[in-house]
């Protein structure tokens, strides 16, 4: 009895957590009139009723999607901008982050503990603290208002190094020693042992990092003055009588890549989250 | 590891470390220098910038709000996610499915959240409609003192799944044998939770606190996209202030404030670590005492 009660409570909680997302999805399939009727208090000064939170479109339609995909060129530009930011950032994190994580996990060198502590502290810093530092150097390098101004600082993120470090640390020393006895050099050990065995960690870090990159708000807003360079995460559609439907559809399209990555990499995501725990 | 091993290690971390140096550490030293100089002439002014920001009304408001936000939202999030995890822990079948559902908000982009928030927390919005059923008056959530609580709610909504995964990992790591022993000694459910489950979650608690802190700073994204540069006073956070100083090019105040926040965060990270590590031996002792009693 008590058990059933707990399950029911947990289910209700899950329902509440998902309600906003389901509302958004169903709204994106509603016709203009239906959505307008539901959102009437938001669109006009009408105060005799509340916004209707219904979840089932009476006449489901794809019109909103067609409109946003056919008639909104700026939406495409922003979607493409998001890709142009996300892919290089993740590439950079792989290129420099994976070796760094391996170096921290399996080698001893002077000041290692201190440097690693600095990495942990940097990963904790909110963007606003390092905003000015970033700006000063990006300005000096003449990168302000280019995509590189967002890509470079994010590409050297210490968070992904930390996640991968956790996975690499779990690789037993004996395997590496055995490979060395067989004559493998440091690079060979890295290429043929670390990369395949630690691949789960690398994917986990990349899933977390994708969700982060797809959601960049502060960085592009601060460093890209030219709005035509902004990513989709800054696409804030106006909810006005004529555009409510497309606003809903646009936000669903922005959601799709993140949800796909989430579904495909869910186990990795969970393992990545667990790896973000400080165990030592 | 031999001597060449040292150089190999440095070789592996070097590209990353150089990037961190160039884009964060070295320019941050410049920020520290700037915090002691005036913005126009660039001359040495000592601690004047620090005096100015501590006397600044906006800084006081933002600092108090941020602190209040952290002190309220973190215990709520950590407590809620722990209780959900303890319940989920015993539900093998539903447990995994529900855990995934709780994680979904993590993937929802901020811009999508903003639309939902407008619909939910508008004066004539869904929440007002819900409380209207119970005869309560409509509330303009985002433009009243409730704005702060909307922020707390959106933080908890977004991060609960993350913390539940961490707590469950911690719970799974506690060996069943300890529970069995306690049951044999006749300990009740609540007693087991306080004397065995909680003490054994020390390390996880450290991580969860740190990560909840880290994630709490990100709530600014929702706050900013929903309410812009100057939201209701109750949710004016340090991040808003930093952002506004940046736009106004008040680089002297901005650098002094950045130095202060950086110092505070560094101290918190170091302190939290020490706190939980020191408690470890005491917990072990407690467990032993419990078993022998």
Domain finish residue from A26, A42, A61: A61
For residues B178-196, give the mean pLDDT.
83
The confidence score (pLDDT) of residue B282 equals: 46
Is position B163 within any domain?
A: yes
Which residues on chain A are in Cβ contact (under 8 Å) with B263?
none
Residues A132 and A10 in one domain: no
**Mean model confidence pLDDT for chain B:** 83
Confidence band for B278, pLDDT divided at 50, 70 and 90? low
How close B293 gets to chain A, by Cα (Å)?
A: 30
Residue B209 has pLDDT above 50, yes or no: yes
Residues A194 and A56 in one domain: no
Residues A218 and A239 in one domain: yes
The percentage of residues in chain B with a pLDDT greater than 70, rounded to a whole number, is: 90
CB atoms within 10 A of CB B73: 23
Residues A192 and A233 in one domain: yes
The number of distinct structural domains making up chain A is 2
List the single residue in B with minimal CA-CA distance to A13. B102
Residues A56 and A95 in one domain: no
Is position B11 within any domain?
A: no
Question: What are the φ/ψ torsions at residue B144 (nearest 5 degrees)?
Answer: -145, -175
Residues A132 and A159 in one domain: yes
Q: List A residues 57-86 in contact with B (Cβ-Cβ < 8 A).
A: none
Is position A172 within any domain?
A: yes
Confidence band for B262, pLDDT divided at 50, 70 and 90? very high
Residue A176 has pLDDT above 80, yes or no: yes
CB-CB: which of B88, B110, B116 is closest to A24? B116
The confidence score (pLDDT) of residue A184 equals: 85
Among B119, B155, B158, B274, most A C-beta atoms within 10 A, so best to mutate, is B119
Is position A280 within any domain?
A: no
Look up the CATH number of the domain holding residue B112.
Answer: 1.10.3720.10
Is position B188 within any domain?
A: yes
CB-CB: which of A51, A112, A130 is closest to B28? A130
Among A15, A27, A51, most B C-beta atoms within 10 A, so best to mutate, is A51
For residues A184-189, give the mean pLDDT.
88
Confidence band for B106, pLDDT divided at 50, 70 and 90? confident
Residue B230 has pLDDT above 60, yes or no: yes
Query: Is B16 in Cβ contact with A124 (below 8 Å)?
Result: no
Confidence band for B276, pLDDT divided at 50, 70 and 90? low
Residues A78 and A135 in one domain: yes
Is position B173 within any domain?
A: yes
For residues B78-98, give the mean pLDDT.
84
The percentage of residues in chain A with a pLDDT greater than 90, rounded to a whole number, is: 30
Supply the range of the domain harboring residue B99: 42-292
Domain finish residue from A18, A38, A61: A61
Q: Is A133 in the B-facing interface, judged by CB distances under 8 Å?
A: yes
Among B6, B7, B16, B237, most A C-beta atoms within 10 A, so best to mutate, is B16
Residues A57 and A122 in one domain: no
Q: Is A44:A226 a contact under the CB 8 Å cutoff?
A: no
CA-nearest of B46, B266, B169, B111 to A214 is: B111
Supply the range of the domain harboring residue A31: 2-61
pLDDT digits (tens, 9 = 90+) for A95-152: 999 999 999 998 888 888 889 889 988 988 889 889 999 999 999 999 999 999 999 9
Is position A221 within any domain?
A: yes
- Give the Cα separation of A63 and A57 in Å (integer): 13
How close A49 gets to chain B, by Cα (Å)?
A: 7
Is position A157 within any domain?
A: yes
Residues A18 and A117 in one domain: no
Confidence band for B60, pLDDT divided at 50, 70 and 90? very high
For residues B236-259, give the mean pLDDT.
91
The confidence score (pLDDT) of residue A67 equals: 83
Is position B4 within any domain?
A: no
The number of distinct structural domains making up chain B is 1
- Give the Cα separation of B102 and A224 in Å (integer): 34
Please tell me whether residue B237 adopts helix, strand or coil conformation. Answer: coil
pLDDT digits (tens, 9 = 90+) for A211-269: 999 989 889 999 999 989 999 888 876 666 667 788 888 888 888 888 898 888 888 88
Residue B280 has pLDDT above 50, yes or no: no
Residue B108 has pLDDT above 60, yes or no: yes
The confidence score (pLDDT) of residue B285 equals: 46
For residues B281-290, give the mean pLDDT.
47
pLDDT digits (tens, 9 = 90+) for A44-64: 666 666 777 677 777 788 888
Find how far residue A4's CA is from the centre of its chain.
36
The confidence score (pLDDT) of residue A280 equals: 45
Q: List A residues 166-195 in contact with B (Cβ-Cβ < 8 A).
A: 186, 190
The confidence score (pLDDT) of residue B150 equals: 86
Look up the CATH number of the domain holding residue A106.
Answer: 1.10.3720.10
Residues A124 and A241 in one domain: yes
Residue B133 has pLDDT above 80, yes or no: no
Q: Give the CA diameter of chain B.
A: 76
Give the residue ranges of DSSP H helices in B21-91. Answer: 26-34, 48-55, 57-89
Cα Rg, chain A, nearest whole Å? 24
Residue B166 has pLDDT above 60, yes or no: yes
Which residues on chain B are in Cβ contact (under 8 Å) with A39?
119
Residues A148 and A12 in one domain: no
Confidence band for B293, pLDDT divided at 50, 70 and 90? very low
How close A171 gets to chain B, by Cα (Å)?
A: 16
Residues A183 and A207 in one domain: yes
Is position A66 within any domain?
A: no
């Amino acid at each position: 009895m008590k058990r059933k009660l707990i399950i029911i409570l947990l289910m209700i909680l899950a329902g509440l957590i998902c309600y906003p997302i389901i509302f958004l999805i169903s709204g994106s399939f509603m016709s203009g009139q239906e959505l307008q009727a539901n959102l009437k208090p938001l669109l006009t000064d009408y105060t005799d009723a509340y916004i209707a939170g219904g979840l089932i479109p009476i006449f489901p339609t794809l019109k909103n999607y067609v409109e946003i995909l056919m008639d909104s060129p700026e939406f495409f530009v922003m979607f493409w901008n998001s890709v142009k930011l996300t892919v290089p950032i993740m590439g950079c994190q792989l290129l420099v982050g994976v070796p760094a994580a391996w170096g921290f996990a399996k080698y001893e060198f002077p000041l290692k503990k201190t440097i690693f502590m600095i990495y942990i502290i940097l990963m904790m810093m909110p963007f606003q603290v390092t905003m000015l530092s970033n700006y000063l150097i990006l300005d000096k390098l003449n990168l302000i208002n280019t995509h590189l101004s967002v890509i470079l600082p994010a590409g050297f993120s210490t968070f992904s190094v930390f996640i991968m470090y956790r996975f690499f640390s779990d690789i037993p020393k004996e395997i590496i020693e055995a490979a060395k006895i067989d004559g493998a050099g440091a690079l060979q050990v890295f290429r043929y042992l670390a990369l395949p065995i630690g691949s789960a960690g690398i994917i986990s870090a990349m899933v977390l990092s994708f969700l982060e990159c797809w959601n960049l708000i502060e960085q592009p807003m601060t460093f890209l003055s030219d709005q035509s360079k902004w990513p989709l995460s800054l696409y804030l559609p106006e909810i006005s009588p004529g555009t409510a439907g497309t606003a809903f559809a646009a936000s669903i399209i922005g959601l799709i890549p993140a949800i796909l990555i989430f579904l495909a990499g869910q186990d990795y995501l969970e393992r990545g989250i667990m790896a973000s725990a400080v165990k030592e | 590891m031999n001597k060449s091993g040292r150089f190999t290690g440095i070789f592996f971390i070097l590209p990353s470390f150089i990037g961190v140096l160039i884009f964060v550490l070295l320019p941050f030293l410049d920020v520290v220098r700037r915090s002691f100089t005036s913005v126009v002439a660039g001359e040495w002014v000592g601690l004047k910038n620090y005096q100015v920001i501590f006397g600044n009304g906006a800084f006081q408001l933002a600092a108090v709000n941020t602190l209040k936000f952290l002190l309220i939202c973190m215990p709520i999030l950590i407590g809620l996610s722990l209780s959900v995890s303890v319940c989920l822990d015993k539900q093998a079948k539903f447990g995994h499915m529900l855990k995934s559902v709780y994680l979904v908000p993590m993937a929802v982009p901020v811009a999508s959240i903003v639309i939902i928030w407008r619909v939910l927390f508008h004066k004539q919005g869904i929440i007002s409609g819900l409380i209207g059923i119970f005869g309560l008056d409509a509330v303009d959530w985002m433009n009243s003192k409730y704005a702060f609580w909307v922020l707390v709610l959106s933080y908890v909504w977004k991060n609960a799944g993350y913390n539940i995964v961490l707590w469950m990992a911690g719970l799974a790591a506690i060996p069943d044998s300890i529970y069995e022993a306690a049951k044999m000694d006749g300990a009740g459910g609540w007693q087991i939770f306080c004397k065995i489950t909680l003490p054994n979650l020390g390390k996880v608690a450290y991580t969860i606190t740190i990560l909840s802190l880290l994630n709490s700073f990100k709530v600014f994204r929702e706050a900013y996209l929903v309410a812009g540069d100057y939201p209701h006073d109750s949710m004016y956070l340090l991040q808003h202030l930093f952002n506004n100083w940046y736009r106004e090019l008040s680089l002297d105040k901005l650098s002094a404030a950045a130095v202060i926040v950086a110092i505070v965060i560094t101290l918190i990270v170091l302190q939290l670590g020490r706190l939980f590590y020191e408690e470890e031996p005491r917990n072990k002792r407690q467990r032993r005492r419990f078993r022998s009693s």
